[in-house]
């Protein structure tokens, strides 16, 4: 009886740059994604003049150990030499014929032209630096624009993008008419700069994201981000104010946050547990409920504060939460988690009951 032939697989597609032009001479490497072991290589090919590639492989190439079922979970990586240009999404349980096209950032250097650049700072309406946002640069023409490059803002809101004149759609242009766009998500611009006509080789474009397009960081997030680099190996809940350690006073002088705010931030972390987040306690300790007392140690203030929870009503807790969201003391995203508020409210009374 003839042995049943194992199916062969064909993976093919086209590699293009962001202007839609095919790219030849790039290395395309195919893999089977395996979460429990290193990705299994399936094959490699070089793109043709039309940017196309073809990789053939067999079932044995991804059925390593014989424990997998179904088809391969295929993805590709594209290289220029050993430089990774891009990686595709994974095609789960792929069939025998698999098509994966990919657009990559690619610049073919045919001259010794130095790189041009645009850099700047991205802030919100309160002049706070915005970290982790996508910034993209474009060369604007009359009714079109060409993508030049992208970057993510660093912890200081800074970005830097390099590009080359080869990327201009109109090759006779001597300089780009630059536009910078800031994105919260991949394809939704939160802000856009005015056009910088005839941009210099090293351009600077700062941009402010309007409040309507971006929720500014909460007070809790600002404190956390500001204090963390100053703490070395000390955790928030271990900060203190006593004869031995004047942590609250030092951090207030170093950061500009008042002692009361830093003290309730620390106490919020002491009260926090797996069920109740420190953000909840931070807003509850706000208002008139807690006031920092410089003549008392933080440990003493913590004990007094826990004892006073007996007098807190559910209405006071809900008002504190409402105030915290309205004044952007805690992140807006917590508002969608009803369990945070419910657990927080019940947690207050549990602590009051057993303290």
pLDDT digits (tens, 9 = 90+) for 278-299: 888 888 888 666 777 878 888 8
Average pLDDT of span 228-242: 88
Rounded to the nearest angstrom, the gap between the alpha carbon of residue 135 and the centroid of all alpha carbons in its chain is 12
pLDDT at 154: 92
Fold of 8-103: Immunoglobulin-like (2.60.40)
Cα 333 to Cα 188, 191, 330, 336: the distances in Å are: 19, 21, 9, 6
Helix 338-354 to helix 314-326 angle (10° resolution) is 140
CATH of the domain spanning 116-209, picked from 2.60.40.1120, 2.102.10.10, 3.40.50.970, 2.40.50.180: 2.60.40.1120
Residue 198 has pLDDT above 90, yes or no: yes
For residues 32 and 26, the answer to whether their CB atoms sit within 8 Å is no
Enumerate residues 6+ apart whose C-beta is below 8 A from 182: 122, 130, 133, 134, 135, 189, 190, 191, 192, 207, 209
* Residue linked to tokens 């919100």: 124
CATH 2.60.40.10 domain span(s) along the chain: 8-103
In tens, the pLDDT along 37-64 reads: 567 889 999 999 999 999 999 888 887 6
CATH 2.60.40.1120 domain span(s) along the chain: 116-209
Residue 171 has pLDDT above 70, yes or no: no
pLDDT at 204: 97
């Amino acid at each position: 009886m003839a042995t049943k032939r194992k199916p062969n697989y064909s993976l093919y597609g086209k590699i293009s740059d962001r202007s839609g032009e095919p790219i030849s001479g790039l290395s395309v490497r195919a893999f089977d994604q395996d979460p429990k072991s290193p990705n299994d290589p399936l094959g490699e090919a070089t793109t043709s003049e039309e940017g196309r590639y073809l990789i053939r492989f067999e079932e044995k190439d991804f059925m390593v150990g014989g424990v997998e079922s179904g088809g391969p979970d295929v993805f590709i990586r594209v290289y220029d030499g050993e430089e990774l240009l891009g990686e595709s999404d994974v095609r789960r349980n792929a069939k025998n014929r698999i098509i994966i096209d990919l657009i990559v950032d690619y610049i073919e250097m045919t001259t010794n032209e130095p790189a041009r650049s645009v850099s700047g700072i991205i802030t919100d309406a309160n002049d706070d630096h915005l970290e982790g946002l996508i910034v993209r640069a474009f060369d604007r023409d009359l009714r079109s624009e060409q993508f030049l490059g992208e970057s993510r803002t660093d912890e200081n809101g800074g970005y830097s993008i390099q590009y080359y004149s080869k990327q201009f759609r109109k090759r006779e242009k001597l300089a780009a008419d630059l536009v910078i766009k800031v994105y919260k998500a991949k394809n939704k611009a939160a802000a856009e700069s005015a056009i910088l006509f005839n941009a210099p080789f090293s351009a600077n474009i700062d941009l402010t994201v309007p409040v309507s397009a971006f929720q500014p960081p909460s007070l809790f997030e600002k404190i956390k981000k500001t204090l963390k680099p100053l703490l070395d190996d000390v955790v928030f809940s271990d900060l203190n104010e006593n004869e031995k350690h004047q942590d609250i006073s030092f951090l207030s002088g170093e950061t500009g946050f008042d002692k009361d705010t830093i003290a309730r931030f620390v106490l919020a972390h002491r009260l926090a547990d797996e069920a109740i987040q420190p953000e909840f306690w931070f807003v509850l300790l706000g208002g008139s409920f807690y006031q920092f007392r410089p003549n008392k140690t933080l440990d003493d203030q913590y004990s007094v504060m826990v004892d006073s929870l007996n007098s807190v009503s559910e209405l006071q807790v809900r008002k504190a939460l409402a105030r915290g969201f309205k004044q952007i003391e805690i992140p807006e995203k917590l508002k969608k988690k009803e369990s945070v508020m419910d657990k927080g409210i019940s947690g207050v009374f549990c602590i009051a009951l057993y303290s």
